[in-house]
Amino acid sequence: MVELSFSHGDEVRFRLAKEELDAVVLESSEKDIVLVKLSSGYNIGIPKENILFARKIPRKRIVEEKKEFALPKKEGLGSIGIIATGGTIASRLDYKTGGVKPLS
């Protein structure tokens, strides 16, 4: 069996018997299965015995600066609150669960 040196959240290229695939490693409760998220969004489990080779792919980090802004308050108008319920569109990937967390 190949030595696997990656952890959840890492992007990894896997070589299997009939294909190569790039995926993000998720936390798995089964010790003999590597759980991954494919670029299509699907989660799959790969038996460790089927992995011929695996290596981490360096991630390109894009850091966006959060711009602070203030809206002018109009005299005589009250305040309101906004609740964002954007679902998947307003979320980011949680590498531990394979699900999403809200952007904040």
Structure pTM? 0.61
Q: Which two tokens stand for residue 84?
A: 């964002």
Examine the residue annotation and report whether 85 is marked as an active-site residue of this protein: no
Res 22: pLDDT: 94
Q: Averaged over 85-104, what is the pLDDT?
A: 74
Among residues 7, 88, 91, 97, the one annotated as catalytic is 88
Task: Give all domains of the chain, ordered by start, each with its CATH number.
Answer: 1-58+84-104 (2.30.30.520)
Whose tokens are 């695996």? That residue is: 54
pLDDT digits (tens, 9 = 90+) for 34-87: 999 998 889 999 999 999 999 999 877 667 677 787 878 888 988 888 877 777
* Residue pair 98/26 in contact by the 8 Å Cβ criterion: yes
Res 29: pLDDT: 87
Res 19: pLDDT: 94
Q: What CA–CA distances, in Å, run from 5 to 56, 79, 87?
A: 8, 52, 33
